[in-house]
Amino acid sequence: MDLFGVGTLLADCVPPENLSIFHPVSPGGRSIVSLSILVLAITGGILLVVGTVLMYCVFRFRTKTFDGHEPPQVYGSVPIEVAWTAAPAMIVFILVLVTTRTLWEVEIPVPEPVVGDNTLFVTVVGRQWWWEYQYEYYNGQKLGFTTANELHMPVSEASQQRRVYLTLKSADVCHSFWVPRLAGKTDLIPGRVNSMWLQTEQPGLYLGQCAEYCGTQHAHMLLRVNVESPAEFERWLQQEASVALHVDEATITRGREVFLGLSCINCHAVRGTGAKGTYGPDLTHIMSRATLASGQIPNNRENLRSWIADPQKIKPGCLMPAFGLSDKQLDEVVSYLESLR
Amino acid sequence: MAIAEQRRTDYQRQVVAASGWTAILHDWTTTVDHKKIGILYVLMSLVFLVIGGCEAILMRSQLLFPRYDFLPPDTFNQLFTMHGTTMVFFVGMPILIGVGNYLVPLMIGARDMAFPRMNALGFWATLFGGLLVYSSYATGGAPAIGWFAYAPLTERTFARTAATDLWALGLLVSGIGTLTAGINFIVTILGMRCPGMTLRKIPFFAWTMLWTSVQILLAIPPLTAALVMVLLDRNLGAHFFDTQNGGSAYLWQHLFWFFGHPEVYILVLPAFGMISEIIPVFSRKVLFGYEFMAAATAAIAFISMGVWSHHMFTVGMSKTLDLYFAAASLLVSIPTGIKFFNWLATMYGGKIRFASPMLFAFGFLSMFLIGGLTGIMLAIAPFNFQLSDSYFVVGHFHWVLIGGTLFGLFAGLHYWYPKVTGRMLSERMAQWQFWLLLIGFILTFGPMHISGILGMPRRIYTYEPDRGWEVWNQITTLGAAIQVPSYALFVINIVWSYFKGPLAGDDPWNAWTLEWATTSPPPAYNFEQILVVKSRRPLWDLKHPDDPDWNYE
C-alpha cells in the first residue's frame, strides 16, 4: 500500500546506499512502511485540521488593544466535550487494529531447522564493539563456523523463499541489531535470547549499525549485510566452513610464528592453528571481509598494518591494545593475515 | 504599586544597612518562605540550564562533520550523559517545582506551604544532588553511561571510575528533594485552601501541580530503589543488574522506565497548568470545560503509570505485551486531545492579546501539537521497531519538552515575573527571544526526525560520510546556534528588567486568580487577611459584581 505515493516520493529522494526506513527491501520492512504511511496520513490529517482551527482562532480573534468589554463567557458544553473525546477514541481504536495486524506480520518465532527448508540460522552475538556471527544451519545442514562484522545471506526468490532467522545474544552489555532497510531493530541483551528474521528479494549490500548505546565505541559498531545469489552464497559458505589456508612461504611462515607466539591468540581464533581465542573476531578468513574495525575502514594491506600497529588511533577506546611490534614483525603478521582468504 | 516598590527597596536598604551582603546571603540560605525558595529553585535551574545548554552546543559542534575529531568519544559520551541528567533532574523538575512553590500558596490563598522547613530541605537536597553529580568531573571525568544508565553498562566491569557512583548518589539525594516537594504540594493543596475553595474551584495550575505531585510520589521511589541497587552492585558486590553473575539487565529497564515514563508527564503537566491560566486571561475568556480539563489531567496521570514499556518495544517482549503497551500509550492521546481542544475553545470567540506570555502560549500550542503527533507514531509498536533509539526519538522528545514544557514555562515566567519582582519584562526583548527560540528550535529538532528516518541512531559521537546525514546534522547545529542568543536574551531581560523594567502594579494583566489580589511582590505573609472565595475566578467576581462566576459553575 502506498497512500498518496508518499512512500515512493520519499524513496526516490534518497540514494540507494541510503539507510532510509522508507526504502525497505523486505516483507517485514514493507509491512512496517505501509503501516507507517497510514499513521503519517492520519497524524498529518489531524495536524492539518487542528492546525487550521488554531490559526483561525489566532487570526480571527486577535485584538491589538483591549477595549474593556469582555467577550461572552462560555463555561463549557457537555455534548461538545463528549464529541471531542469520542473522535480521538475512534482514531485510537483504528490505530490499535492496524498495529495488531502489522505486529502479527512482523514478529515470527524461530522454527526448527528442517532439511529442504532453504532457511539460514545464524546466532548473532553483540560485543563491545563488533558483531559475531555463528552460522548454525542452512537448508537443514549444520554449519558451525564463526565470522565477524559482515553478515552474508542468500537472496529470496518468488519461486523459492529463503528466510534468515537470527538468534540474538550479547556477550557484555546491551546492543541493538538495526539494518533499517531489512527490518526494525531488535535488542541484544545479556542473559536473554531474542530473535528476528530477514528476507529479501533484492541482492546487494545493506548497511546499519548498533542502535543501543553500548559504551565508548557505540558509534563505530557498524553492520554490513551482503545479500547474494544462492550460488554465490553457497560458495561463500563452503569457503568459510573450511579451516585456514596454509601457505608455505618464508614471510608468511614467519608472520604465522609471530602471530601464534604473541598474545593475539588469547582473543583471536584461526581455525586449523593453535589460535583459539573467542574474545575478538575469528580471523580464519579475514581477507574474505571487505572492511576492518567493524565496517569502519576498507580491508587492505595498508589499513591492516596501521590497525595492528595502533588500533586506538583508528578506534579510540576499543578493546584491542597496540602490541609494539617492530616494523619487520608488523609486515610479517600482515602478510600472514593477508594469506587468510 | 508604588507602595510595593517602596516596600521592596526599603527592605533591601534595611538589610544592606544592617550588616551588608552577608545578611542578605544569610537571609536567602536560611529562608523558609515559599516565595524565596521558589526563586532559589528557578535561579538554580537557570544556571543548570546554561550548563546543560553548553553541553548541547559542544555535542552539536562534534556532529557538524562526519568523522570529525573535535571531541574524543568518551568526552562526547560524558556530555550526553550529563546533558540528559542535567536537563531532566536539575532543570526541568526543579524549575517547575520552583514556579509551583512560588505560586501554589498564593493561588490557593494560603500563607505558606504546609511544611516550610521541609520545603527548604527539598531545595537544598536538589542543589546538593546536582553538585554531587557534577563533582564526578573532579574524579577524572563524568559518567559515560547515558541518563538512562542501562545495566550492565553501569556495573563496575564496564564503568570503573567513581563517576557512576557519584551520579547515582547525586540522583538519590536530589530524588529526596523532589519527593519532599511532591509531598508538600499534595498536603498544601489538599489541606490549606482558603475558605470557599473546594477542589472543584482550585486554579488550574494548582490542579496540575497536585497531579504532578501524585506522579512524583509514585515514580521517584522505584528510581530510588533502582539507584540503591546499582550502588549495592557496584560497591558491595550485589548482583541485581550484574548479568555475568545472574543479574538482570531487563530489571533495570523496567525500574528505570517505571520512573522514566511518568517523569515525562511530571515535566509537562505543570506546563499544561500554566497554559491553562494564561490562555483564558489573554483571550479574556473563562477556561472552557474546567471539569473535563480536570478529569483529563487525572486521566493522564493515571494512564502514564501504565505505559512505561513503550520505551522497551525492541527488547523482545511478546506480541501481546507490545500490543498492550502500544494501545495504552495511544490512550494518552485522548485526554491530551481533550485538553488541546479546550484550549482552542477558550480562545474561540475571545479577544486575544499577543503579549509575550500569550505569544509563548501560542508557541506551546503549535509546537506541542506536532510533538504529540510524533508521539502517536512512536506508540505504534512496529513503527517504533524502526524509530526507537534513532534520531527521530531525539527530535520527538525535545519537541515535546521544549515545545511543550519550555514554551509553557517561558509563558509562565513572562506572565508571573511582574508578580515576583514588581516590574514588567521588556516586551521587545521577550518578542525577540520568542522568535529566535521558535526558529532555532524548529531548525534544531525538525531535521532530527529526518536523520532518524534515514537510519541515524542516537548517542553516536560520529557518523560515516556516505550516509547522507551530514546536511541534516549541519542544519541541526545551525539551529542550536540560533537558540543560544534567545536564552541569553532571556537572562539579560530578567536581570535588566529587575532594575529598569516599568513598574507592574498588583494586577498588570487584568487577571482573575488570587495571586493577583496581593501586592507585587507579595509581602512575606502573602495576604493581609485570609480571603474567602465563591468561584474559580474570584477576581472576576470582584471586577464584575453584576455578573459573578458563581452563577454559572
- Closest residue on chain B to A57 (Cα): B348
Chain B contacts in chain A segment 148-177 (CB below 8 A):
168, 172-174, 176
Helix (H, G, I), strand (E, B) or coil at A69: coil
Q: A interface mutation test: which of B147, B156, B290, B341 has the most A CBs within 10 A? A: B341
What pLDDT, on a 0 to 100 scale, did the predictor assign at position A196? 96
Name the band, by pLDDT with cuts 50, 70 and 90, for residue A67: confident
% of chain B with per-residue pLDDT over 70: 97
Chain B within 8 Å of A12 (Cβ-Cβ)? no
What pLDDT, on a 0 to 100 scale, did the predictor assign at position B6? 66
Assess whether pLDDT exceeds 80 at residue B545: yes
Assess whether pLDDT exceeds 90 at residue A17: no
What are the chain A neighbours of B384 within 8 Å (beta carbons)? 184
How many CB atoms sit inside 10 A of residue A199's CB?
23
**Do the chains contact at B292 and A191, CB–CB below 8 Å?**
no
What are the chain A neighbours of B461 within 8 Å (beta carbons)? 218-219
The string of pLDDT tens digits covering residues A243-264 is 998 889 999 999 999 999 999 9
Chain B within 8 Å of A219 (Cβ-Cβ)? yes
The string of pLDDT tens digits covering residues B357-394 is 999 999 999 999 999 999 999 999 999 999 999 999 99
**Do the chains contact at A208 and B338, CB–CB below 8 Å?**
no
What are the chain A neighbours of B85 within 8 Å (beta carbons)? none
- Closest residue on chain A to B144 (Cα): A215
Assess whether pLDDT exceeds 60 at residue A1: no
* Residue A325, min C-alpha distance to chain B (Å): 26
**Do the chains contact at A70 and B283, CB–CB below 8 Å?**
no
Assess whether pLDDT exceeds 70 at residue A304: yes
What pLDDT, on a 0 to 100 scale, did the predictor assign at position A66? 80
Structural contact between residues B276 and B287, judged by C-beta atoms closer than 8 angstroms: yes
**Do the chains contact at B319 and A103, CB–CB below 8 Å?**
yes
Paired strand residues for B444: none
- Closest residue on chain B to A194 (Cα): B316
What are the chain B neighbours of A192 within 8 Å (beta carbons)? 249-250, 315-316
Please tell me the distance from the alpha carbon of residue A244 to that of residue B456, in angstroms, as a whole number. Answer: 37
| All residues at 6 or more sequence positions from B359 whose CB lies less than 8 Å from its CB, including other chains | B411, B430, B431, B434
Name the band, by pLDDT with cuts 50, 70 and 90, for residue A54: very high
The string of pLDDT tens digits covering residues B433-452 is 999 999 999 999 999 999 99
Chain B within 8 Å of A14 (Cβ-Cβ)? yes
* Residue B320, min C-alpha distance to chain A (Å): 9
- Sort strands A150-154 and A222-228 into parallel, antiparallel or unpaired: parallel
Mean per-residue pLDDT, B44-53: 97
Residue B72: left (phi > 0), alpha (psi -120 to 50), or beta? beta
- Closest residue on chain B to A20 (Cα): B454
**Do the chains contact at B377 and A185, CB–CB below 8 Å?**
no
Question: Shortest CA distance to B43 belongs to which of B434, B360, B490?
Answer: B490
The string of pLDDT tens digits covering residues B235-294 is 999 999 999 999 999 999 999 999 999 999 999 999 999 999 999 999 999 999 999 999
What pLDDT, on a 0 to 100 scale, did the predictor assign at position A222? 96
What are the chain A neighbours of B366 within 8 Å (beta carbons)? 51, 54
Chain B within 8 Å of A294 (Cβ-Cβ)? no
Assess whether pLDDT exceeds 50 at residue A10: no
Please tell me the distance from the alpha carbon of residue B389 to that of residue B123, in angstroms, as a whole number. Answer: 33
The string of pLDDT tens digits covering residues A145-154 is 999 999 999 9
Chain B within 8 Å of A18 (Cβ-Cβ)? yes
What pLDDT, on a 0 to 100 scale, did the predictor assign at position A11? 44
Assess whether pLDDT exceeds 90 at residue B17: no
* Residue A242, min C-alpha distance to chain B (Å): 33
**Do the chains contact at B373 and A47, CB–CB below 8 Å?**
yes
Radius of gyration of chain A (CA): 27
* Closest partner CB to A54 (pick from B342, B349, B365): B365
- Closest residue on chain A to B347 (Cα): A57
**Do the chains contact at A211 and B457, CB–CB below 8 Å?**
yes
Please tell me the distance from the alpha carbon of residue A100 to that of residue B75, in angstroms, as a whole number. Answer: 42
| Mean pLDDT, all residues of chain B | 95
**Do the chains contact at A190 and B244, CB–CB below 8 Å?**
yes
| All residues at 6 or more sequence positions from B140 whose CB lies less than 8 Å from its CB, including other chains | B161, B163
Please tell me the distance from the alpha carbon of residue A292 to that of residue A304, in angstroms, as a whole number. Answer: 7
The string of pLDDT tens digits covering residues B156-167 is 999 999 999 999
Name the band, by pLDDT with cuts 50, 70 and 90, for residue A12: very low
* Position B114, amino acid: A
Chain B within 8 Å of A59 (Cβ-Cβ)? no
* Residue B342, min C-alpha distance to chain A (Å): 8
Chain B within 8 Å of A75 (Cβ-Cβ)? yes
What are the chain A neighbours of B374 within 8 Å (beta carbons)? 43
* Closest partner CB to B315 (pick from A22, A187, A215): A187
- Closest residue on chain A to B387 (Cα): A184
What pLDDT, on a 0 to 100 scale, did the predictor assign at position B295? 97
What pLDDT, on a 0 to 100 scale, did the predictor assign at position B13? 63
The one-character DSSP state at B234 is H
Please tell me the distance from the alpha carbon of residue A317 to that of residue A315, in angstroms, as a whole number. Answer: 6
**Do the chains contact at B362 and A58, CB–CB below 8 Å?**
yes
* Residue B210, min C-alpha distance to chain A (Å): 23
What pLDDT, on a 0 to 100 scale, did the predictor assign at position B20? 79
Q: A interface mutation test: which of B309, B453, B466, B547 has the most A CBs within 10 A? A: B453
Cell of A154: 542468500
What ipTM score was computed for the predicted complex, to two decimals? 0.93
Chain B contacts in chain A segment 87-146 (CB below 8 A):
87-89, 91-92, 95-96, 99-100, 102-104, 106-107, 128
Please tell me the distance from the alpha carbon of residue A153 to that of residue B519, in angstroms, as a whole number. Answer: 75
Mean per-residue pLDDT, A322-326: 93
Where do we find the cell 509546537?
B367
Structural contact between residues B106 and B194, judged by C-beta atoms closer than 8 angstroms: no
Structural contact between residues B487 and B50, judged by C-beta atoms closer than 8 angstroms: yes
| Mean pLDDT, all residues of chain A | 92
